[in-house]
Every structure is written in C-alpha cells, then in structure tokens.
Structure 1
Amino acid sequence: MTSTGRGTADATTVLTDDGVRLWAARSGHGDQPLVLCHGGPGLWDMFGGLADSLADLATLIRWDQRGCGRSERCAGPWTTERFVADLDAVRRHFGLERTALLGHSWGARLALSYTLAHPERVSALVYVAGTGIGPNRDWWPGYRANLAARLAEHPARAARFAELDARDDLTDEELRESAALQWSADFADRDRALEHARALTDPWFGINGACNRALGAETERLRGTPQLHAACAALDVPVLIVDGARDIRPRTAVDSLERALPRVRRVTFEDAGHLPWVEEPAGFRAAVAGLTGGNGGTGAPILGA
C-alpha cells in the first residue's frame, strides 16, 4: 500500500525497453528530484497526498508499476529485475541523471534493489515500512498474527472480511471492500482506520494478483542470502529508514538491513502504523527534509530543510 490523497500532477506515458506503457506524473517545484515507488506488489501509486506535502522540497515523480493501476495491462514479466529496469526507464524519461528514491512497503524493496543495481544514479534512499533483508520467516508469521488480532478489535469488520476472504467469486466492489477492511489494520489510529483505508481504494484500479503472487514467490527465494547482505554492506548511498512502531509487520525484521548499511539513519514514529506519513505527516516531512549525506560529503540536506 501507499498513501491517501490524489495530488495535482502532470501525467505522461513512459515507454519501457520492451514496449510496455507506464503511467507516470510529475509535480512539485523543489530543486531536487524524488521518485516514489508504491507498495504492493500489484497495486498502484497512492502517493498524491504525500507528493503535495513535499512539493516545495522536491520535484516528485510518481508512477504505476507495470500491469498495475493506470499503466498498461500486460503479462509481465513479474520479476524484480524487470521492475528495476522499468524504474530506470522512468528515470530516463524525466531526464534525471541522479535522483533520490522513496519506496514504501514492497516499493521499499524495489527502491533498495534499484539502488544496489545503480548506486551512481541514486543520491539517497528513503526506505519506508519495508520488511528488511532477512528471510520471510522473520516477519510473515508475526504479520499474519497481528493482522488477525487487529481485525478482531472490530468483530463486525473481522466477520465481514472473513466472509469475503473465503469466497473466490467476489464482484469488483466486494474486492474493493475486502481490501479496505484488510488495510484498516495498517493504521494505528483505530477510530480513523477504516476511513484511511477506504481512501486508499479511491480511485480503485483492482489488484494484479498474478503480479503479487509472482513477486512474492521471488522475494521468498532472494531474501536472507549472504549476497544480499554483502551488497547492502558495500552500499555507499545515504539511507533513511522510516518505521511506524505500530505497524503490524514486525519492525525487528528491518534490524538486519539497518545493521548492514554503512550510511543509515532510522526514524520510528511511536503512534503510526504502516503508513507513517498519513498518521504523522509533520514528523514524516521533517524526517525526509532532513535526510543528510551525499553532496560531496558535506552532510547538507539532500531535499532541503
């Protein structure tokens, strides 16, 4: 998942090297570029509100990953390598020699993968609510248990979600309802959780299940390897890790990534869940604005103060 808000942006079409058309948009007027990578896999950019809040700090580039959202429906391929190449196509389309990246959830993994592949093209990485570089067992069982527990706080919602989740013949509107119910568990503010979650489904583009399943299986194979750990340990790019302490994905899963990175700072918001910029907007903006490193080693903020 990603964010609430739609934002005002100039939309365009990015053509990948294998001929797939991607939706992308540019907004903001800051001096530095910042490319946003949405969550999923299989979802779409929901960063409009975040882009609005950062508009004076950076020129924001948003995009829908292949086969998702407003991008062209296609048959994949659904691999991290392919998505890294797509992200590079977005970079080239907007004429960016070097850019900061912000990725959320699955998008954090994608942004990290791109940074490892092309460190010379990345000025800084903001890694938001990811799940680290260890094996899935570090977080997946805890996530499933926490999801069930948080949904159970509202028995009617839990019952309705269970009813929908058990069926394989859902209408598009029921799929949308099921997503909102599940995503409501991602917010710490339980009074506004369903409101926030429903905002994520407006507009609704549907979830690309094939994309989600394929990239999920690939993640299971690639995480926790010595090669990934070594690549992170050698990464000479400043990284900001941002967490919500009440994310139902155990935050301890990110500890291995934090330990591996040589240039890292971590900010945790105690009263936020999986989307910390929604529940802690001022603090999130301040954290991103104060990201330091690079710039010839001066330690000056990359996105401004």
Structure 2
Amino acid sequence: MGAQGQDRWTRSGVRLRRVSQREGRWNWLFVPGGPGLGSESVLGLARAADVPGTVWLVDLPGDGSNRGMPEVPDHPYERWPDVLAEAAQALDEVVMVGHSTGGMFILSVPELEEQLVGMVLVSSAPHAGWRPSFARWAEAHPIRGLDTAAGDYARDPNDETLRTLTLAAAPWNFTPEGLAAGRAALEDLAYCHDAVAWADAHFDDTYQARWKPHNRLPALIVSGAEDHVVDQRLWQDDDAFDQPRVLQRTIDGAGHFPWIENPQAVRKAFADLTDLLDGDTR
C-alpha cells in the first residue's frame, strides 16, 4: 500500500484517509453513500460516532476527489465495489461503516464476511426494493424547483449540475429542523457524476446483498426515524438481520443523515456496538 501523509492507497486505488486516532484496537473504515459524494460526506458521521481506535475515510477509485491521482488506475469503476476487500485487508481489526449506498457496497462483497470484526449499516438496505418505495414517496412530496435542477442534470450531467441537483433535493434527506445544517454539509463535497452514472447503469436497480452477518459478526443497523429515502422496514423481512448480535437502532427526529439532527443518539448506538466488540475481546 502506498502512503502520502495521512492518505494511503491500496493496489487498486482505494484511498484511506486517517482522520483520528485514540486508544483502541479497532480500525473503523467509513464508506460514503451516493455514490459520487466522496468520503467527506461521512466525516460528520465519523465525528459523531466518537469511537475508540483509528478512524479512516474510504474513497473508492474514481469517487469523490479520488480522481486524477497516480495511484488510481484507468477504468476504476470496473473494480467496484469488490475493491473494498483490499481496504479491509490493508488493516487489522477492521469495522466497516457504510452510509446508504456505501452499506450496500459492503453487503455486495462476500469476501468481507471473513475479513471484518464488525459492521455498521447506516440508512442502508438489503436489496434494491427501497427504490420504488422512495419513488412513490417522492412523487407524493414534490419539491419546488427540483424539476429544473433535474432537467439541467439530465441535459448536461457534470459535477456542478450534480451538486445543484443534490442541494435542490435536500428536503428529502433531512427533517425541517435539520435542513439548514444538512445543506451546509452537502455544499462543499467533492461531487463526482461519473460515479453516479456507473451506479445507475450497473448497481442501483439490481442490488441484492450477497452476504449477511453470521452468528459471530457484531453488526449495527442505524437509521433515522424520519428517513424517507431508504425504507428501513426492508430489514424486517429478512431473518438474517434479526439476531442478538445485530443491533438495530432508530434515531429519533432524524432523516437520511441521522448524525445531522441527532448526533448524541448516533454516538450512543455506536457505543452499544463497541460494548459488543469489547465483549468479544475479553
């Protein structure tokens, strides 16, 4: 693995950015959603989690600002999302945290089942069934001006029209109380429309979890009580996610980015998982 300052790359160009380190044996790898938002989008989640050990932000090759780097190969999307296995192999005692599509990427890489010591799925889903559900909800809750932003992106898909579209759709992602802070968090991200195009063509509609937590793997499923983007009821339809070592925590007063509205409850949910991990090492 190459390294430059706090950034490291795997052989296929996954970038790991170390953002904090404190006492603790675990390496926490935060995988962003979107895709196309970049790992900066989960920096607030990493801070809210306040976990022991070392915290890393993960960018797949070609995502976020992980573009145009000598460590990133040509045609990087051909390696998605399987390159997450390289990130897990690069460190010891890895707990992988995925937000939204990031969590779906994790569940799409079966090799991770034996590589991780823990897993967190934030506002994520076990299959693509969340998409028609969200489409129906969105149709019933239109946003003024969104059609214009969507039309601009359809005519000229680029990083800036993606930014404009995402900001226009922000009311779907946050509660009214969290909207201003949510928009501020989205404003300066490293948007990448190429990653969005890849997911739209090759992942979003066909996604199905390729592995599920075994009896030994501590896991945490976290979601906002007001998340209207990804239907969290989907977890209830699969017995594999209903077991004592899979903790499920609903964050009151929070939307699709639950750490924006209720960081304290998110921190408590991560602490519950840490207690479970602690029990495995005693």
TM-score by length of 2: 0.80
Distance 1:280 1:37 in 2: 20
Tell whether 2:269 aligns with 1:287: yes
Tell whether 2:197 aligns with 1:218: no
State the match for 1:127 in structure 2: 121
Q: After TM superposition, give the deviation of residue 218 of structure 1 in Å.
A: 3.1
Distance 2:156 2:204 in 1: 28
The unaligned stretches of length 5 or more in structure 1 are 1-9, 153-157, 301-305
How has the CA–CA distance of structure 1 residues 294 and 194 changed in structure 2, closer, same or farther, with 3 Å as cutoff?
Answer: closer
Q: After TM superposition, give the deviation of residue 81 of structure 1 in Å.
A: 4.6
1:82 is paired with a residue of what secondary structure? coil
State the match for 1:183 in structure 2: 170
Tell whether 2:268 aligns with 1:268: no
Trace 1:52-91 onto structure 2 (pairs within 5 A): 52-55=47-50, 57-73=52-68, 74-88=74-88, 91=89
Letter in 2 for 1:160: G
Letter in 2 for 1:283: A
Whether the 8 Å contact between 1:28 and 1:51 is mirrored in structure 2 is no
Given the alignment, which residue of 200, 222, 233 partners 1:242?
222
Given the alignment, which residue of 136, 147, 170 partners 1:145?
136
How has the CA–CA distance of structure 1 residues 76 and 274 changed in structure 2, closer, same or farther, with 3 Å as cutoff?
Answer: same
Letter in 2 for 1:214: W
Distance 1:40 1:176 in 2: 12
TM-score by length of 1: 0.75
The unaligned stretches of length 5 or more in structure 2 are 69-73
Per-residue deviation, residues 86-108 of structure 1 (Å, max 9, x unmatched)? 423xx51xxx2221111110111
State the match for 2:212 in structure 1: 232
2:133 is paired with a residue of what secondary structure? helix
State the match for 2:236 in structure 1: 255
Distance 1:60 1:149 in 2: 39
Letter in 2 for 1:24: R
State the match for 1:24 in structure 2: 17
How has the CA–CA distance of structure 1 residues 219 and 140 changed in structure 2, closer, same or farther, with 3 Å as cutoff?
Answer: closer
How has the CA–CA distance of structure 1 residues 147 and 79 changed in structure 2, closer, same or farther, with 3 Å as cutoff?
Answer: farther
Whether the 8 Å contact between 1:38 and 1:105 is mirrored in structure 2 is yes
Given the alignment, which residue of 150, 168, 188 partners 1:165?
150
1:232 is paired with a residue of what secondary structure? coil
1:185 is paired with a residue of what secondary structure? helix
Q: Percent of aligned pairs with the same residue?
A: 23
2:107 is paired with a residue of what secondary structure? helix
Whether the 8 Å contact between 1:180 and 1:200 is mirrored in structure 2 is yes
